[in-house]
Chains A and B, each alone.
Chain A
């Protein structure tokens, strides 16, 4: 179980309790935050883009080549930041309890 603080596109904050082991994208999608997760986690749609707050970045698994390519591709359409990650590539774990993420603008 992990509790994640989500900053919405309108600046509002809420807390989501999500099941451990599941990708963060699924919790965000199901909580109607604007994350669509259209491709289901294949790094082929870019709709689960979030900005992860700096302190949490080191705790995340490194980006795969596919995630890297997708982030670069959407970089033409939306701002990329240091904390830009595809939330479908972030499996939730107790270590990430308290993590803060911001939903990135839609494509």
Chain B
């Protein structure tokens, strides 16, 4: 008793807020409607600037800004020409895969342009009405495909235009860890109790069940989370499910843009199901009317924006499966490739 555990007491001195690189994964870039054919603009994501553009034919592209020729920033003064991004400096043109397709004043195209891409681009797809890019620090191709989400992809049956976007000054792992940390729901969010949680892992996917079927969902890599809230509509005694789709993006290694879309079944106007669905979604976001527990909007940021990461957390019997979550998440961290010195 009274012995000093110096290691414990002084560990705080060595802690960092976000000691991880940007993880590998599919990430939301923008809503598809925000990028018209022929448009281009600069974005900052994954710790650097990129040029986001859409070809005249409608293909979205995300490319490194610096032209491989002499380094001009193509996002300043560059242009979309047909299916290509054109550099302002000497009008070299690139397709969405980063192949140099034209050098207007060269008599001969350098052979390196025939061998493969010379401009770094991110594999980019359009899904759920959104533009998604695959980030990998060594330019490896996607390790999995984005899943089918009926609430977002079915032509009929679902509706809901509520969305939210928030900036968190921490890394994406800290935000994702929130999902398994069920204890904080009672104390930070004022939920009536700590719900039970079951998490299982399958490759790049995590399955989560909070409250024995209350909130059930999947995480697909760090960048996509689909959670379905299942509750009984008190007016009918029948279950109603609303869906929260969460698509956070690492802006840098220590800043994350959180984005959410909320969808529900397209119940007819005036039904109790519709009213209950809306209440479910209110609850997901912030305090719903008549409820005391808070959604993440107000309270989680107070913690995220100030906490540090404890690599050796002191967990008790009531805590959720944080360590298993961290072990699963580790797979998304990849070494930056060491390139030989240029000759």
Not counting A43-B111, A70-B110, a sample of 7 additional A-B residue pairs whose C-beta atoms are within 8 angstroms of each other reads A42-B110, A66-B111, A66-B112, A69-B111, A69-B114, A76-B108, A77-B108
Q: Quick check: A77 and B111 within 8 Å, CB to CB?
A: no
Q: Which chain A positions have C-beta within 8 A of B114? A: 69
Contact with B along A43-56 (1 / 0, CB 8 A): 11110000000000
B336 on interface, CB distance cutoff 8 Å: no
Q: Which chain A positions have C-beta within 8 A of B109? A: 73
A39 on interface, CB distance cutoff 8 Å: yes
Q: Which chain B positions have C-beta within 8 A of A66? A: 111-112
A interface SS class? loop
Q: Which B residues are closer than 8 A to A by beta carbons?
A: 107-112, 114-115
A107 on interface, CB distance cutoff 8 Å: yes
Q: Across the two chains, which residue of chain A brings its CB closest to B113?
A: A44
Q: Quick check: A44 and B107 within 8 Å, CB to CB?
A: no
Q: Across the two chains, which residue of chain B brings its CB closest to A71?
A: B111
Least CB distance, A64 to chain B, in whole angstroms:
10
A22 on interface, CB distance cutoff 8 Å: no
Q: Quick check: B108 and A107 within 8 Å, CB to CB?
A: yes
The answer for the CA separation of A45 and B115 in the assembled complex, in Å, is: 16
Q: Give 7 nearest A-B pairs by CB, closest first.
A: A44-B110, A69-B111, A73-B108, A107-B107, A70-B111, A46-B108, A66-B111
Least CB distance, A106 to chain B, in whole angstroms:
10
The answer for the CA separation of A69 and B56 in the assembled complex, in Å, is: 32
The answer for the CA separation of A74 and B115 in the assembled complex, in Å, is: 17
Which chain A residues numbered 16 to 44 have a C-beta less than 8 Å away from chain B? Answer: 39, 42-44
Q: Quick check: A39 and B110 within 8 Å, CB to CB?
A: yes
The answer for the CA separation of A44 and B112 in the assembled complex, in Å, is: 7
Least CB distance, A65 to chain B, in whole angstroms:
8
Least CB distance, B110 to chain A, in whole angstroms:
3
Q: List 12 A-B contacts (CB under 8 A).
A: A39-B110, A43-B110, A44-B110, A45-B108, A45-B110, A46-B107, A46-B108, A66-B111, A66-B112, A69-B115, A70-B110, A73-B108
Least CB distance, A6 to chain B, in whole angstroms:
23
Q: Across the two chains, which residue of chain A brings its CB closest to B109?
A: A73
Q: Which chain A positions have C-beta within 8 A of B115? A: 69
Least CB distance, A71 to chain B, in whole angstroms:
9
Q: Quick check: B107 and A77 within 8 Å, CB to CB?
A: yes
